[in-house]
Structures are given as structure tokens and as C-alpha cells.
């Protein structure tokens, strides 16, 4: 039931319209988690280009003891990415229980790509450049070009995801009727 002057009712109407849109957090969290899974599964396990601490001298993946430490670190990395996917699931369910709309494919997939790109940029800057615990290709003498390519790919994911998200958002806003005051 509306209470107050027209100005207060207008503010409440805007709030109600905003609450109808889907959560942005869930798509971003899914993207960060799934981007981490792609990195760990493809680069660590399938291609075996690196492991979490493969560039740390004390844990070379060329020895059994070093490979054990790297495999354990990869496992902890996968647990962390799993928690991002879990957080994305929880935020999506929370938003739907609040009465928000389910996201369109382009809205959600765009945010997912942005999250993947954010993962790549943050992981690439921290692990590859600042800490130096591994590189995209630890089996090469000069891995910097691979590290730069990883960062550029992350930036492209963010930009492409942003464009896709904005397209989905605009389409959802055109289809979402304003709430009656």
C-alpha cells in the first residue's frame, strides 16, 4: 500500500523496478569460478603446461615430491573455484527468492564471460607477474609472451562479456514493464 507523497512513491517505484532485474553478482561469480575450472582443468591437467606452484624452485614438477606438492596446490585451487561457483548459485537463488527476474542468456552469459576475464586478469597479474609462482607455460625458456597473451585474452573476455551483458540488459529493460505505483 503506497504511503506518503508522490515523491516518496516515485522512489519506491524505482526501487521496485530495480529489484525486478536479475542479480549481476551471480553471473560474475559463476564466471570467476568456471574460468578457474577451465584454467585448472585445461592448463594444469590436460595440457600440463603448469601447476599452481610449478615455478617455485623448491617444488619442481619434474620430481615426484614436487609433483605431489603441485597436485595438492592444484586441488586447493579447484576447491577455491568450486566455492565461487557455489557462491554464484547461492546469489542466483537468493535473487530469485527476492522476486527478481531470471536473467536472459546474453545478460547471464555476458556476465559469465566478464567473470572469466576478471579471473584471468587477476590470476595473471598476481600469480604470473607479482608472485611468479607459475606462468602459463612453465616448460618454455621465455614464458612472458604466453603470460601477456593470457592477460590480453582476459581483457577481451571482459570487453566481449560487457557488450553481451549490455545487450541482454537493454533487451530485458525493454520487456520489463514498470511497476504500478
In a domain, 40, yes or no: yes
- Positive or negative: CA dihedral 146, 152, 153, 155: positive
pLDDT at res. 79: 97
Q: Please, which residues have CB within 8 angstroms of residue 129's CB and are 6 or more apart in sequence?
A: 147
Neighbour-count burial for 148-165, b at 16+ CB within 10 Å, e otherwise: eebbebbeebbeebeebb
Whether 165 is in a domain gets the answer: yes
pLDDT, position 176:
62
Is 1 domain-assigned? no
Q: Decide if pLDDT at 97 tops 80.
A: yes
For residue 35, tell me if it sits in a domain.
yes
Rounded CA separation 58/5 (Å): 69
Q: What is the DSSP letter of 59?
A: S
- Report whether pLDDT(165) > 90: yes
In this prediction, residue 118 carries a pLDDT of 98
pLDDT band at 178, cuts 50/70/90?
Answer: low
Domain, as residue range, for 21? 6-175
pLDDT reading at 16 higher than 60? no
> How far is 68 from 66, CA to CA, in rounded Å?
5
**Model pTM score:** 0.83
Quick check: 59 and 69 in contact, CB under 8 A? yes
The answer to whether 171 touches 104, Cβ cutoff 8 Å, is yes
Q: What are phi and psi of 140, to 5 degrees?
A: -110, 155
Residue 180 lies in a domain: no
Rounded to an integer, the average pLDDT of 23-48 is 95
Confidence of residue 174 (pLDDT cuts 50, 70, 90): confident
pLDDT at 82 over 50: yes
Residue 14 lies in a domain: yes
Establish if 181 belongs to a structural domain.
no
Total domains in the chain come to: 1
For 96, residues 6+ apart whose C-beta sits below 8 A from its C-beta are 102
Amino acid at each position: 500500500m503506497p504511503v506518503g507523497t508522490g515523491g516518496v512513491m516515485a522512489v519506491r517505484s524505482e526501487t521496485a523496478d530495480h529489484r525486478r532485474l536479475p542479480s549481476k553478482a551471480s553471473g560474475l561469480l559463476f564466471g570467476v569460478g568456471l574460468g578457474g575450472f577451465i584454467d585448472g582443468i585445461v592448463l594444469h591437467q590436460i595440457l600440463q603446461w603448469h601447476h599452481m606452484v610449478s615455478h617455485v624452485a623448491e617444488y619442481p614438477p619434474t620430481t615426484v615430491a614436487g609433483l605431489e606438492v603441485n597436485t595438492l596446490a592444484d586441488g586447493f585451487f579447484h576447491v577455491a573455484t568450486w566455492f565461487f561457483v557455489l557462491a554464484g548459485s547461492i546469489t542466483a537463488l537468493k535473487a530469485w527468492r527476492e522476486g527478481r527476474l531470471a536473467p536472459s542468456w546474453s545478460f547471464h552469459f555476458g556476465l559469465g564471460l566478464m567473470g572469466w576475464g576478471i579471473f584471468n586478469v587477476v590470476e595473471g597479474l598476481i600469480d604470473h607477474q607479482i608472485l611468479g609462482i607459475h606462468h602459463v607455460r612453465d616448460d618454455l625458456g621465455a614464458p612472458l609472451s604466453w603470460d601477456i597473451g593470457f592477460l590480453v585474452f582476459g581483457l577481451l573476455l571482459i570487453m566481449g562479456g560487457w557488450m553481451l551483458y549490455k545487450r541482454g540488459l537493454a533487451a530485458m529493460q525493454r520487456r520489463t514493464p514498470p511497476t504500478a505505483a
